[in-house]
Each structure stands twice: as structure tokens, then as C-alpha cells.
């Protein structure tokens, strides 16, 4: 899978894909991430990519021309399966969307800044809009990093048995059950007996019950069938 990211602050994305699981995905050539500085397509030699908004009001808007030129050039060697604009005024990202995106070959993520991008780019080019939650970030870069991480780890061959995504929270609309490691007693607190019983069926049942309990307590909405 290839992911291109368009941003005015490429430095923000220097590190997130260079460690741990995503690093391995890139080393195995299962994932390629290309970060592009939008200023390369600026309208003048001052690097301008934004302007005042029509109708007045505080805050600049990212202009059509630099973004359109960037997309057109990046599509010269193959069109994108999805052109994603990350913005707080969009549908919220979840595991289902991550699963769907992991099946694509080539996607572009546009990171907004300031007041966002000109609506005409959203109308003409953008095929999917994503928010990562009900709060405002200073730009779309960290949201893009969240999406690349959530999608990248799902690509076949990235995770091994130990890190398998099959048992992640949310894959079955349940939060994960609690986990424990050595020592068996820490500051007088004992690991639940069932985890030491050696009976895989009993352990699986316990984990499932704990997952349901955790979900009912913290995120009851996930148990609602409308969420499935």
C-alpha cells in the first residue's frame, strides 16, 4: 500500500512512521509513506498557499490552486483510490474505516491548517473526509499519523501472531480484557487465578466476560446493535 500525505508542516511527520510496527511495515515494503510539502506548489515565490476568506472573519483558508496542482501532479503516475481530507468537521474515524482503508492500494491524505481548505477542493477532489474525534487540533498532521498507524498495522504481513489485530479492542466491538504479566503477586495484589489455571477454554471465557464487562462500564454504546 502506498500513502501520500500533503501538508504545510512535513516536519511534523518525520518520526511517526520510523519506529516499531510501521518501521517494520516499511522495511518489508508492505507500506510506503511519502510526505509532500504543499509549498512546492505555492502560487508565488513567497511560498503562499493560503489567503483571506471571502465574507470576512478571522483565519486564512488554504487555496485551491496549490492543492489541485499537487494532486494532479501526484496522480500522473496513477490515480488515488481515495483522496482523504482530515478535518474536525467530518465523520469520526473508527476501526471499521481503518479496516476498509487497509484494502486500498494508493491513498492521499490532505492535511488542513488554519480555517481549512477551500470548499471547492472538497467538492471536486476529496472522496472521503475524516475527523479523529470531537476536539480541535492545530492541523491535520497528527490526525493523518493516527490514520496511517491504524491502517498500516492491518496490512497483511505487518503484524505477527503475537501482535495479531484479530484480538484488538473494537475488532468485535468490544474493549480489550485486562492483561497481566510477572510477578504473580505485586505489592500484595494477585493476578486473577483463572489466568494461572492452564485451561484455555476457561481463560477464553473469562477474557470474553471481562471484555463485555469493560465495554458495558466504559463504552455502553458499543454494545448497541446499531453500532455493529
Residues that bind ligand 6GU (CB under 6 A): 86-88, 131-133, 135-137, 139-140, 143
For residue 110, report the phi and psi dihedrals to the nearest 5 degrees. Answer: -100, 125
How does strand 106-111 pair with strand 2-7? parallel
What whole-number distance in Å separates Cα of residue 62 and Cα of residue 49? 6
Q: Which residues pair with 6 in a beta bridge?
A: 36, 110
User: Please, what is the minimum distance in Å from the beta carbon of residue 137 to ligand 6GU?
Assistant: 3
Burial 52-69 (b: 16+ CB within 10 A, else e): eeeeeeeeebbbbebbbe
- According to DSSP, residue 113 is labeled B
User: Please, what is the minimum distance in Å from the beta carbon of residue 135 to ligand 6GU?
Assistant: 5
Calculate helix-pair angle for 20-27, 141-152, nearest 10 degrees. 70
Beta carbon nearer to ligand 6GU, 33 or 86: 86
- According to DSSP, residue 98 is labeled H
Beta carbon nearer to ligand 6GU, 5 or 86: 86
Beta carbon nearer to ligand 6GU, 39 or 115: 115
User: Please, what is the minimum distance in Å from the beta carbon of residue 125 to ligand 6GU?
Assistant: 17
Beta carbon nearer to ligand 6GU, 101 or 211: 101
Beta carbon nearer to ligand 6GU, 133 or 178: 133
What whole-number distance in Å separates Cα of residue 41 and Cα of residue 38? 6
For 42, 184, 186, the CA distances from 49, given in Å and listed in that order, are 5, 58, 56
User: Please, what is the minimum distance in Å from the beta carbon of residue 130 to ligand 6GU?
Assistant: 6
User: Please, what is the minimum distance in Å from the beta carbon of residue 227 to ligand 6GU?
Assistant: 20
What whole-number distance in Å separates Cα of residue 101 and Cα of residue 223? 24
- According to DSSP, residue 179 is labeled -
Beta carbon nearer to ligand 6GU, 143 or 175: 143
User: Please, what is the minimum distance in Å from the beta carbon of residue 74 to ligand 6GU?
Assistant: 20
Amino acid at each position: 500500500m502506498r500513502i501520500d500525505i500533503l501538508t504545510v508542516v512535513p516536519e511534523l511527520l518525520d518520526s511517526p512512521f520510523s519506529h516499531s510496527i510501521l518501521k517494520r511495515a516499511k522495511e518489508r515494503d508492505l507500506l510506503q509513506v511519502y510526505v509532500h510539502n504543499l509549498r512546492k506548489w505555492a502560487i508565488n515565490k513567497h511560498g503562499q498557499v493560503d489567503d483571506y476568506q471571502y465574507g470576512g472573519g478571522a483565519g486564512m483558508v488554504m487555496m485551491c490552486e496549490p492543492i489541485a496542482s499537487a494532486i494532479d501532479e501526484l496522480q500522473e503516475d496513477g490515480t488515488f483510490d481515495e483522496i482523504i481530507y482530515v478535518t474536525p468537521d467530518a465523520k469520526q474515524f473508527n476501526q471499521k474505516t481503518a479496516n476498509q482503508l487497509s484494502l486500498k492500494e494508493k491513498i492521499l491524505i490532505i492535511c488542513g491548517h488554519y480555517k481549512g481548505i477551500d470548499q471547492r477542493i472538497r467538492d471536486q477532489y476529496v472522496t472521503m473526509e475524516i475527523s479523529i474525534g470531537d476536539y480541535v487540533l492545530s492541523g491535520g498532521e497528527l490526525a493523518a499519523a493516527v490514520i496511517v498507524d491504524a491502517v498500516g498495522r492491518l496490512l497483511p504481513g505487518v503484524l505477527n501472531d503475537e501482535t495479531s489485530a484479530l484480538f484488538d479492542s473494537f475488532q468485535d466491538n468490544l474493549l480489550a480484557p485486562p492483561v497481566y504479566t510477572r510477578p504473580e503477586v505485586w505489592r500484595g495484589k494477585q493476578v486473577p487465578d483463572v489466568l494461572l489455571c492452564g485451561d484455555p477454554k476457561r481463560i477464553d471465557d473469562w477474557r470474553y466476560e471481562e471484555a463485555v464487562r469493560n465495554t458495558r462500564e466504559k463504552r455502553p454504546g458499543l454494545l448497541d446493535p446499531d453500532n455493529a
